[in-house]
């Protein structure tokens, strides 16, 4: 038994997860004044503009294959964000977070369905431990019955799992800056289009014809210095920087291994919430046990147990690096 050697890539994904964990407490400050879709319709286009300024050649001279990959990833995550926003109209934030945590165990399932990838034993055990820990941290105390919002949110977990799975393939084929820019640009276009269509409908039919949650999206946005710095952090650090780190790191690991590290997000989110908003954010012994299980799952996934584990890891890398796919085949997948 020994540690795996891709510590730099693990560090990149870990830092991405740490930053994402901080966004819950920071974004709450924006969402106290803004509805969620309006917030995304500003945050994502700002990040897309910054990507275009940083990587103008990679964006404006991107090949058809690169756009195909970026648009695929961007559509998955953009539709996922929109679905989460719609789901929140009918369910609680606690239930939404808990259901979204199902993404972690879904990743190896999606990887298997796409290319029959078999996770290694250590990654599979890590998934089980991390998923159980995430459930303990996120499970709402009074969940109630299943409603339409729960089902919509559940559908987004498939989109997010597919995104993580395909990222492990596309990230190996394209420049990290280019792939990050193209997928964020696509996601920004989808979110902005949904927001503009909603406001156009409200202008024609009246905001009263919309559900209360969507009607709030038509209200004027409240700007303040606090909102400005929060949006700057969420756009520059939590979107541009994290997508660059994420793309670079996941090019060097399997989708399942990345999902195990991502399972630390609720742990980091709770830590930041306690630091920024007080100890009342900590949910007690259940959350402590959950955090320990998640950390144990991540540690277990970092171990390698003999040759069988190595072969399983290779099989889960998919058809990109080890599956013998040609570059022409890669272009075909991306363009499709």
Instruction: Please write the tens of the pLDDT for every residue from 1-32.
Output: 454 557 899 999 999 999 988 887 788 778 88
- Rounded CA-CA distance 196/59 in Å is 24
Taking alpha carbons only, the member of 157, 158, 190 closest to residue 70 is: 190
Q: What are phi and psi of 166, to 5 degrees?
A: -70, -25
Q: What is the dihedral of CA 73, 74, 77, 81, to 10 degrees?
A: -170
pTM beyond 0.95: the answer is no
The average pLDDT across 130-139 equals: 74
pLDDT, tens digit, 9 for 90 and up, residues 245-290: 999 999 998 888 888 888 888 788 778 877 776 655 555 677 778 7
Which residues neighbour 149 within 8 Å (Cβ) at sequence distance 6 or greater?
86, 87, 88, 89, 90, 91, 95, 96
Q: Which of 150-159, 182-191, 203-212, 298-307 is most confident?
A: 182-191
pLDDT at residue 20, rounded to an integer: 87
- Domain spans of the chain? 2-335
CA distance 253 to 301: 11
Judge contact between 294 and 134, C-beta under 8 A: yes
Q: Is 13 helix (H, G, I), strand (E, B) or coil?
A: helix
């Amino acid at each position: 038994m020994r540690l795996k050697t891709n510590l730099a890539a693990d560090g990149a994904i870990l830092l991405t997860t740490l930053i994402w964990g901080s966004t819950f407490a920071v974004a709450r400050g924006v969402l106290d004044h803004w509805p969620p879709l309006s917030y995304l319709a500003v945050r994502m286009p700002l990040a897309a503009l910054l990507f275009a300024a940083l990587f103008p050649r990679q964006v404006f001279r991107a090949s058809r294959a690169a756009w195909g990959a970026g648009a695929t990833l961007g559509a998955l995550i953009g539709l996922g964000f929109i679905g989460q926003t719609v789901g929140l109209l009918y369910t609680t934030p606690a239930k939404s977070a808990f259901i979204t945590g199902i993404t972690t165990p879904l990743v190896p399932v999606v990887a298997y369905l796409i290319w029959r990838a078999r996770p290694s034993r250590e990654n599979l055990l890590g998934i089980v431990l991390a998923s159980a820990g995430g459930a303990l941290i996120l499970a709402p105390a009074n969940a109630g019955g299943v409603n339409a919002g729960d089902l919509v949110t559940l559908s987004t977990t498939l989109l997010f799992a597919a995104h993580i799975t395909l990222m492990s393939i596309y990230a190996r084929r394209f420049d990290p800056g280019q792939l990050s820019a193209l997928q964020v640009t696509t996601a920004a276009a989808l979110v902005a289009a949904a927001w503009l269509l909603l406001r156009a409908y409200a202008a024609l039919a009246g905001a009263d014809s919309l559900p209360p949650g969507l009607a709030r999206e038509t209200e004027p946005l409240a700007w303040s210095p606090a909102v400005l710095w929060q949006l700057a952090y969420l756009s520059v650090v939590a979107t541009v920087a994290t997508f660059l780190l994420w793309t670079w790191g996941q090019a060097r690991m399997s989708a399942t291994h990345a999902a195990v590290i991502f399972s630390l997000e609720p742990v980091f989110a709770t830590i930041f919430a306690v630091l920024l908003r007080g100890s009342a954010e900590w949910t007690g012994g259940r959350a402590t046990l959950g955090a320990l299980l998640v950390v144990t799952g991540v540690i277990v996934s970092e171990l390698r147990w003999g040759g069988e584990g190595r072969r399983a890891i290779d099989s889960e890398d998919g058809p990109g690096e080890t599956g013998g796919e040609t570059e022409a085949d890669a272009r075909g997948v991306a363009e499709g």
